[in-house]
Structure 1
Amino acid sequence: MSASSVSIHDSLCDQKQAVSFRLLLGLYGIIPVCLILQCLDHWLWQDYLRNNLPSSPYHFVLFQILFGTPHIIASNILLVSNKDYLVHYRKHIALMTVAIVIGYVLGNMLLPYRLLYVFVAAWTVYHVLKQQYGIARGVCQLPESAFKLLLALSVAAGVAIYLSIFLRSSLTAEQVYWIKHIAALGCLLLVSAAFVCQHFVVTSFGLWFYWSNVFLVLASFYLFLQQHYFMAILVPRFVHDATAYVFYVTHDYNKHQHNPQNIIYRYAGRCGIHLFLVLPCLSFSLAFLLQAYGDYLANLITQYLLGTEFYKVVTLGFLGYLALMHYYMEGLTWQKDSPYRKFIAFSK
């Protein structure tokens, strides 16, 4: 979910369910929870959590099953399972599909892998933070200049943190040194800019949202410095993914509660599955199946049909395609004039 024009003043319409800004703010509670756990781990538990939680990028498959992949799958299900949305955005989907294919082919031919990785990492961080800052902008009524400044500084620091964690095994000591300092400089400039722009926020509730996003980046940087890599990634991912699910589930409830408009919700209704559970259960199940067994099943098929196997055709190819499509489409589907927004209302 990418929200760049959410407003606390949006009307509630005639929906039974509304997105609660208090609930969204409450999701940032993961920040003090992780900071307290880190302190307890260091002072009382002899760094047990740091030494036993996944720390290598190669151990993050479980993390991808729990965070990242499910909400990406959920957003694509929401898009393609509703015929009206599929028709409305068909040109965007087709153009982005062509762009991804061309970019993948040319990128692998002309560009080094690490450069492609940095590009995708930067887009990922931008997508994650733009959603949170977009919501905060609506609550805080920030001017566009302040919004863009805070977002840019957060993304700069966030990309440095992301690369330091996921590429650290392949970075030289000098590269790690400079990336750490870039992240530190980004955080310092972010705090400075946040103090300068704070006067635009006129409500105490808005200030909570405003500083929660700043501390989202700062907490991730602090946990990274403490080598709690799992929690450094967990903090922004949890807030982002949980926020997205709040929007997705609210949308689907309001759209399908009286007259299910696609086969998924018609079938779920016959099975007595509550509307709130349909999309989360389906997306988490698909994320697990695709991450755990997707490549194996794909290779069985290609081995039988073509006599050969392909490298991570599902976990890298298909899920990578869904992720890039998600990043692009979410910037369109939640704008104020989007058909999605007819089924979203807000409350404080």
Structure 2
Amino acid sequence: MSATTISDKALSAQDVPDGNQLSVSFRLLLGLYAIIPLCLLLQLFDGWFWQGFLQHNLPSSPKQFLLFQIIFGTPHIVASSILLVSNTEYLKFYKLKLILMTVAIITAFGVGSLFIPYKALYVTVAAWTVYHVLKQQLGVGRGLYRLPDWVFYLLLWLSVTAGLFVYIGIFLKNSLDVQQLEFIKLVSGSLCVGLICSALLCERYVTTQSGRCFLWSNVLLVLSTFYLFVQQYYFLAILVPRLVHDATAYIFYVVHDYNKHHRQPQNSMYRYAARCHLPVFIVLPLCSFALAFVLESYGDSAVNAVTEFFFGMEINKAITLGVLGYLALMHYYTEAFTWKQGSPYRRFIAFSK
């Protein structure tokens, strides 16, 4: 789900035919931000009572936990892909865009990797990742705080730029010297101060209490990530935006699929699920988590076994880097337009406070 998705018409139902349909609750989405005070309390308790046990024992990045990748990150990317390809009308509708983007990805990250420095590609993907995550969250709230475009994009770009420096500081810290790391902290801290000041100045445009809550929740999302980064709780710093982002996306996916398939399954996946008496709510999460587990845990070894048997060679990280990397980039791209006002997806989405 992308942040370009929610416009000023966000509170209106799209094409949902009856009162038995689900709606996306802004109150539920706002509740996801409870992870922020929870992680801050964990950090404080760790310093006060646990002698830094969490800081010393948590990995420097959630990606170092296979379990974390199976729960966060990969499943919602897989779910997005399943939602797209399992509904043939969506696949046909966006076919040209998908083909062109696939060519672009192969060119940029396949051929381009032979000429473009690794760090340049890494920072490019990092910037796209941070933009995708924060654009989603600010865009979802936009339906409530209804900010003018210039205010929305001011807050967005301050958030994205600060988030990008924090991302680089966490994931490239081993290749940075002390001065570079301090520079990153200074720049990201300054951007966070600018974000606070901008939010205070622009809050007057928000007319509802729920809108103000969403606005400041998104500001705190960035600030808490920066604070946890500075305190060297890297795992928690990544966990905060990752959980909020992934859970928000799944809420949209499940609501969409329930509204589309609960009365009459529209594709083979849901027809098979109906024969197995599986509730519509769990079909997409179950399939995406199971597929993410298989791909993350066994994908590379399975491909290597096949290529070793037939060709006497191994392909390093063919699944976890190649396939899942491709799906992630396609996810960032497609989510920017598949949930926009007027898209086929939005026919099955309604909103409630």
Please say if 1:10 is aligned against 2:12. yes
| Cross-structure match for 1:200 | 205
Bigger Cα displacement from structure 2, 58-67 vs 187-196:
58-67
Please say if 1:271 is aligned against 2:273. no
C-alpha deviation, 1:57, in angstroms: 6.7
Structure 1: which 5+ residue stretches go unaligned?
A: none
Contact 2:195 2:219 in 1 (8 A): yes
Contact 2:62 2:68 in 1 (8 A): no
Bigger Cα displacement from structure 2, 268-277 vs 319-328:
268-277
Paired with 1:345 and 1:40, the residues of 2 have a C-alpha distance of 40
Contact 1:5 1:138 in 2 (8 A): no
Please say if 1:281 is aligned against 2:283. no
1:75-94 equivalent positions in 2, closer than 5 A: 75-94=80-99
Show CA shifts across 1:35-93 (max 9, x none): 11111111111111222222257624332221111100000000000010000000011
How large is the RMSD of aligned CA atoms in angstroms? 1.3
Match for 1:192: what amino acid? C
Paired with 1:127 and 1:31, the residues of 2 have a C-alpha distance of 19
C-alpha deviation, 1:156, in angstroms: 0.5
Structure 2: which 5+ residue stretches go unaligned?
A: none
Q: 1:79 aligns to what SS in structure 2?
A: helix
Bigger Cα displacement from structure 2, 254-263 vs 5-14:
5-14
Show CA shifts across 1:125-182 (max 9, x none): 0000000010111110111111111000000010111111111111122221211111
C-alpha deviation, 1:315, in angstroms: 0.3
Bigger Cα displacement from structure 2, 150-159 vs 165-174:
165-174
Match for 2:4: what amino acid? S
Identity of aligned residues (%): 57
Q: 1:331 aligns to what SS in structure 2?
A: coil
1:250 to 244, 251, 255: 255
1:174-193 equivalent positions in 2, closer than 5 A: 174-193=179-198
1:223 to 217, 225, 228: 228
Tell me: CA distance 1:205–1:172, structure 2 relative to 1, closer, same or farther (3 Å).
Answer: same
| Cross-structure match for 1:168 | 173
Match for 1:128: what amino acid? V
Contact 2:62 2:239 in 1 (8 A): no
Match for 2:157: what amino acid? A
Tell me: CA distance 1:206–1:58, structure 2 relative to 1, closer, same or farther (3 Å).
Answer: closer
Q: 1:333 aligns to what SS in structure 2?
A: coil
Tell me: CA distance 1:257–1:304, structure 2 relative to 1, closer, same or farther (3 Å).
Answer: same
Q: 1:9 aligns to what SS in structure 2?
A: coil
Tell me: CA distance 1:181–1:61, structure 2 relative to 1, closer, same or farther (3 Å).
Answer: farther
| Cross-structure match for 2:297 | 292
The number of aligned residues is 348
C-alpha deviation, 1:11, in angstroms: 2.9
Contact 1:5 1:137 in 2 (8 A): no
Contact 1:24 1:243 in 2 (8 A): yes
TM-score w.r.t. length of structure 1: 0.97
C-alpha deviation, 1:107, in angstroms: 2.3
Show CA shifts across 1:220-260 (max 9, x none): 11111111111100000100000000000000000000111
Q: 2:278 aligns to what SS in structure 1?
A: coil
Match for 1:31: what amino acid? I
Bigger Cα displacement from structure 2, 298-307 vs 333-342:
298-307
Please say if 1:42 is aligned against 2:47. yes
| Cross-structure match for 2:76 | 71
Contact 1:57 1:166 in 2 (8 A): no
TM-score w.r.t. length of structure 2: 0.96
Show CA shifts across 1:183-222 (max 9, x none): 1111111111111111110111110001000000000111
| Cross-structure match for 2:26 | 21
